[in-house]
Structure 1
Amino acid sequence: MPPETNRKGAKGGRATRSEIVAAADRLIYESGYGDTSFSDIADAVGMSRGNFYYHFRTKDAILDAVIDERQAATRAMLEGWAAEADDPIARICAFIRILIVNGEKIREHGCPVGTLCNELAKLDHNAFPGAVEIFAQFRDWLTERFTELGRGEEAQGLALRVLAFSQGAATLYTAFRDDTWVATEVDRMCAWVHELAAQ
């Protein structure tokens, strides 16, 4: 097979794998890991089981790839927020406002990080630490922002408070489907950040 064909084939394989991971990510988020089967993912990408096994031999391997992709997407999102604003207050509020930006999905399915962590914890799954690492990315990034605000030793505690708010609000958003309440709480949390910075 000529080299050019090899290159195209490799690129096509990477594209197919990415398509599988994207479909699995969506299905795991919407239905849960336990209720998402190989067949569900294969059907979502229109692929035979034989071709599917060429890319992933087990469902756990797909889960690992989904978590890797979520970690990479989280890093890219945090870097984007850092590039868009120099002000740590604006950066923290960008995180808080994710409840509004992703409001429709959160209202229907909850927080993608929180729901996955909860399910994997109940299953005592080996992939649980990888899912928790996404929360750690948020915690560490928020800690850096509060450190920039001069909060020193309390920076990590403040970061965890913001994380706790976002998880609690996401859970209640899914339960009550109240857009107005979420918008009000997001505004209040951002006001708290501004007050904290002024102290």
Structure 2
Amino acid sequence: MVAATTRLQIVEAADRLFYERGFEATSFADIAAVVELSRGNFYYHFRTKDELLDAVITHRLARTKSMLDVWEAKSEAPAERILSFVQLLIVNQAKIMAYGCPVGTLCNELAKLDHIARGRAAEIFNLFRHWLSHQFVAVGREADADGLAMHVLMWSQGVAALAAAYRDETFIHREVENISAWLAAQQPEPPAFPEIVPVQQS
């Protein structure tokens, strides 16, 4: 039990430092200092940095899946669930302005490094993509659900990138409003029923 707790502490510390400093710029020593572990105890849990990165990605995937499950249980309306995803830009705006999107920044860095784990990191985007697509199917847009899901991902990533560049809260809130208005316009119009004309009695 103690070993499992220590391992989780290492993964959570690495997760935070990979996000704030970058994967390549974070050393084992940096993580060990945060967790207050000796080098020997640290290596007992993780032998290589790549092994630790894999654990961090697995941890992020589990947290993301848990968050999506909460959104599913919280609202019966798929449009409201999609808005929960969009609202992450506001909920996490301080961190996004400081460091960018945690998923996007990791994927970009690993792609530049041509790291073997770049595909695994993209699994988090895939999780969001499939979940958003499922919500658009539920909204009634089955034919173009995946395209709409990718559009929401693209828009949110653009907002996160510019938010980190300009550190402008007003921009984030304005774009969240714009995305919300766009989402409302994507819902199919309810079917129009012909007007019922009462039959006049002769």
> After TM superposition, is the score higher than 0.5?
yes
1: CA distance between counterparts of 2:185 and 2:118?
36
Aligned to 1:26: 16
State the alpha-carbon separation in 1 of the partners of residues 20 and 48 from structure 2: 20
Structure 1 vs Structure 2: percent identity of aligned residues? 53
Deviations 1:125-167 (A, max 9, x none): 1111110000000000000000001111200000000000000
Distance 1:195 1:166 in 2: 17
Q: Is 1:59–2:21 an aligned residue pair?
A: no
Q: How does 1:5-154 map to 2 (within 5 A)?
A: 11-154=1-144
Aligned length: 189
CA distance in 2, matches of 1:89, 1:78: 14
1:165 is aligned to: 155
Q: State how far apart, in whole Å, the 2-side matches of 1:103 and 1:86 are.
A: 26
Deviation of 1:170 (Å) = 0.0
The residue that corresponds to 1:5 in the other structure is: none
Q: Residue 187 of structure 2 aligns to a residue in which SS?
A: helix
Deviation of 1:181 (Å)? 1.2
CA distance in 2, matches of 1:42, 1:182: 35
Unpaired segments of 5 or more residues in structure 1?
Answer: 1-10
Alpha-carbon deviations, 1:81-103, whole Å to 9, x = none? 11110101100010011000111
Distance in 1 separating the partners of 2:143 and 2:107:
27
Q: Counterpart amino acid of 1:194?
A: A
Considering fraction of residues, name the structure with more helix.
1
For the aligned residue pairs, the C-alpha RMSD in angstroms reads 0.7
Maintained 8 Å contact 2:140/2:188: no
Instruction: Report whether the alignment pairs 1:192 with 2:192.
Output: no
Structure 2 partner of 1:183: 173
CA distance in 2, matches of 1:130, 1:153: 28
Q: Encode CA deviations 1:35-81: one digit per residue, 9 max, x unaligned.
A: 00010010110010011000000011110000000000010011111
Structure 2: runs of 5+ lacking an equivalent: 190-202
One-letter amino acid of the structure 2 residue matched with residue 151 of structure 1: R
CA distance in structure 2 between the partners assigned to 1:143 and 1:195 by the alignment:
16
